[in-house]
């Protein structure tokens, strides 16, 4: 009788273990547009252009390929934040049915809205290089009309670095990025050599590129995402420690005038302002407000 009961308990335990749910493996994805396959001109990224309908379709196809790779690698939840312009580019009917979409703006964390410490990894899709980069499609930093450069603790950062530090604030590593060749180079230099960088085009100039065949680009995105998630433990979060010295250099001196009126902000040059923060998210929010003031000027 004891043997029968012991065997029954063994079978019950095996059944319970076999039916247990997988441990959560959440991945956050921020998707921009300039680094998407097919995009080579600003008109394609603007909602009032006839070319925009094609670009938003390509945007969905790029991110869907990444989502598919993440799911195949074991992701239990994928949250995608539409991060370009009005942040209403991806049409829900074109979006992967097994991922969640964050759409619309403004959002407190902008391109990184939705991330927190519950995520195991972060992925950047369709990103672009910092302002002033040679042979990179539509290079700029947050606002092409206002910003010439953003430096944090003396390091000039593109959006991939600024946003990567938000992920790092929550101890989440950026495991993969896609964009053009130069953007991928900048990503590895800033976020670490273990980052999986997938280039889908090679810049010839600011408004011209050699594109991979579409099928090949999507295959690389899917396989890159799968590989990146499987080796996520090799990638360290990108962190910027306090005190954090932010410096924003504008396109014109007039754009520095209104931000300099803020009590914690000082004029650091004819067309630049600076401030110090002890918390990265607080510094990021103030930086966004300063850019809005500069744009209004």
pLDDT digits (tens, 9 = 90+) for 93-104: 999 999 999 999
| Per-residue pLDDT band at 22 (split at 50, 70, 90) | confident
Q: What is the pLDDT of residues 160-206, one digit of tens each?
A: 999 999 999 999 999 999 999 999 999 999 999 999 999 999 999 99
Q: Is the pTM of this model over 0.75?
A: yes
The answer on pLDDT for 283 being more than 80 is yes
Alpha helices in the chain (DSSP H): 2-18, 52-72, 159-169, 181-191, 214-230, 280-296
pLDDT of residue 212: 98
Residue 12 pLDDT > 60, yes or no?
A: no
Whether the Cβ atoms of residue 247 and residue 268 lie closer than 8 Å to each other: yes
Q: How many CB atoms lie within 10 A of CB 6?
A: 10
- Of 146, 147, 177, the closest CA to residue 161 belongs to 177
CA 296 to chain centre: 26
Residue 2 reports pLDDT greater than 90: no
- The reply to whether 26-234 and 244-296 are identical in fold is no
Domain map (residue ranges) of the chain: 26-234, 244-296
CA 201/CA 109 separation, integer angstroms: 28
How many whole angstroms from its chain centre is CA 242?
A: 22
Architecture of the domain spanning 26-234: 3-Layer(aba) Sandwich (3.40)
Average pLDDT along the chain:
94
How confident is the model over 140-148, as a mean pLDDT?
A: 97
**The CATH fold of domain 244-296:** Gyrase A; domain 2 (3.30.1360)
């Amino acid at each position: 009788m004891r043997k029968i009961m012991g065997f029954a308990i063994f079978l019950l335990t095996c059944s319970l273990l076999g039916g247990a749910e997988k441990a959560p493996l959440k991945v956050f994805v921020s998707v921009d547009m300039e680094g998407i396959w097919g995009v080579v001109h600003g008109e394609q990224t603007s909602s009032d252009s006839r070319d925009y309908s094609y670009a938003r379709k390509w945007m969905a196809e790029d991110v869907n390929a990444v989502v598919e790779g993440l799911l195949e690698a074991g992701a239990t939840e994928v949250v995608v934040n539409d991060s370009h312009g009005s942040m209403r580019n991806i049409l829900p009917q074109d979006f992967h049915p097994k991922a969640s979409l964050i759409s619309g703006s403004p959002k407190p964390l902008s391109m990184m809205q939705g991330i927190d410490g519950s995520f195991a990894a972060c992925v950047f899709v369709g990103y672009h290089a910092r302002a002033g980069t040679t042979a990179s499609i539509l290079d700029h930093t947050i606002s092409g009309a206002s910003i010439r450069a953003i430096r944090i603790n003396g390091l000039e950062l593109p959006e991939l670095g600024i946003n990567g530090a938000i992920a790092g604030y929550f101890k989440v590593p950026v495991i993969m990025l896609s964009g053009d060749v130069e953007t991928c180079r900048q990503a590895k230099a800033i976020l670490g050599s273990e980052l999986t960088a997938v280039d889908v085009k090679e810049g010839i100039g600011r408004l011209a590129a050699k594109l991979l065949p579409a099928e090949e680009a999507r295959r690389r995105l899917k396989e890159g995402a799968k590989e990146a998630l499987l080796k996520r433990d090799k990638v360290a979060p990108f962190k910027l420690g306090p005190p954090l010295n932010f410096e924003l250099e504008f396109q014109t001196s007039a754009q520095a005038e209104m931000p300099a009126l803020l009590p914690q902000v000082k004029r650091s040059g004819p067309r630049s302002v600076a401030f110090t923060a002890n918390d990265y998210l607080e510094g990021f929010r103030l930086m966004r407000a300063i850019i809005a003031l500069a744009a209004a000027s």
